[in-house]
Amino acid sequence: MKICVHGAGAWGTAVAVNAAARHEVTLWARDAAQADAMSAARENTRYLPGLALPASLAVRAGDIGQAQAGADLVIVATPMAALREQLIALRGTTAAVAWLCKGVEPALDASPASFGLLAHEIWAQVAPDLRAGVLSGPSFAQEVAEGRPTALVAASPHAAVRDTLVDAFHGPALRVYANEDIVGVEVGGAVKNVLAIATGLCDGLALGLNARAALITRGLAEMTRFGLALGARAETFMGLSGLGDLVLTSTGDLSRNRKVGLLLAQGRTLAQAVDSLGHVAEGVYCARTVVQRARGLGIEMPIAEGVVALLDGRVSPQDAVAALTGRDPVPESVPPGAAASPRHSS
């Protein structure tokens, strides 16, 4: 199979290296100098240092049409903020397309009726004729690049796209499961980033393992309520892109989102925390959008609300925690049942 990967960050590089063992793969970088440096050093020293790029992996910049000519599969591995422009540029392609980004686009304008979109909604808006889907699940780029066992989920309404993703990436160390619920898979991938900032904060303040388990569990309930209101299936949140990625990102020290929470707990400003990462932490950019959209749907997301108040500088780390622990008692809601009530509480 011929594959073109757009975006030579940590995840795009790891995925390209993995696929290059079995397929003809081109990794496209928007920055020509970065592509030249990668080709010369056979390493992505900026985003994934220490990993040798296989000789068979072509690294290109410049004309993207040329880079993806004849591709069976185009992978968009940029941050969420670049997905819209990437999908517009892909209009008319006959290749299957899959995005790897996990987030929600910020609202395009400030009007109260405007809200940020998930990736499949951007697809429906700007390039509905593409045969497309998402590849998600618990996966740190570093571990995939090292060939450590990982399981992903390929979601699309098109069976042929799901099959193409399985054919492209399923191998000895990487299992790829197919799922038709693209809404649930994308909600899991986006919301877990926001929740990982909360668990990073919790661990940075040394609140303990009980508190972390409570945050993850109640976070899963928030994620599920939000997803159900958007049309996702409840069982998706018990799978790789829901519980799986929430646990990985909330507890794994390779997570950039978790790191943001840890750094804020140490008293760093948000700008300092973001600058120190050198990579995108999508939770920082999608937390507000998630909360705005949840409010519009009548869904309570107290943990995500706390993260937004913290990111906006409206509360201190300690006050963000106090706001959560000081909430009035409520029955423990079981997310699928909670979907039946008009106002979901936690």
Ligand X SMILES: O=P(O)(O)OC[C@H](O)CO
Ligand Y SMILES: NC(=O)c1ccc[n+]([C@@H]2O[C@H](COP(=O)([O-])OP(=O)(O)OC[C@H]3O[C@@H](n4cnc5c(N)ncnc54)[C@H](O)[C@@H]3O)[C@@H](O)[C@H]2O)c1
Q: Please, which of residues 210-249 interact with ligand Y by CB under 6 A?
A: none
Looking at the Cβ atoms of 138 and 242, the one nearer to ligand X is 138
Looking at the Cβ atoms of 36 and 337, the one nearer to ligand Y is 36
47 interacts with ligand Y by CB under 6 A: yes
Reported in sequence order, the residue ranges of the chain that DSSP labels E, i.e. its strands, are 2-6, 24-28, 43-44, 48-52, 58-60, 73-76, 96-99, 132-136, 150-155, 174-179
Binding residues for ligand X, per CB under 6 A? 102, 138-140, 193, 196, 245, 248-249, 255-257, 281
Written as one letter, the residue type at 164 is T
Reduced to 3 states, what is the DSSP secondary structure of residue 136?
A: strand
Number of C-alpha atoms within 13 angstroms, CB side, residue 253?
2
93 interacts with ligand Y by CB under 6 A: no
DSSP, res 241 = I
To ligand Y, the closest distance from the beta carbon of 107 in angstroms equals 18
End-to-end CA distance of the chain: 47
By a kind-dependent CB cut-off of 5 to 8 A, residue 30 interacts, out of ligand Y, ligand X, none, with: ligand Y
The answer to whether 292 and 115 have CB atoms below 8 angstroms apart is yes
Query: Is 259 in the active site?
Result: no
Angle among Cα 177, 179, 183 to the nearest 5 degrees reads 135
285 interacts with ligand Y by CB under 6 A: no
306 interacts with ligand Y by CB under 6 A: no
By a kind-dependent CB cut-off of 5 to 8 A, residue 245 interacts, out of ligand X, ligand Y, none, with: ligand X
To ligand Y, the closest distance from the beta carbon of 177 in angstroms equals 15
Active site residues: 192
Residues that bind ligand Y (CB under 6 A): 6-12, 30, 47, 77-80, 82, 85, 100-103, 139-141, 279-280, 282
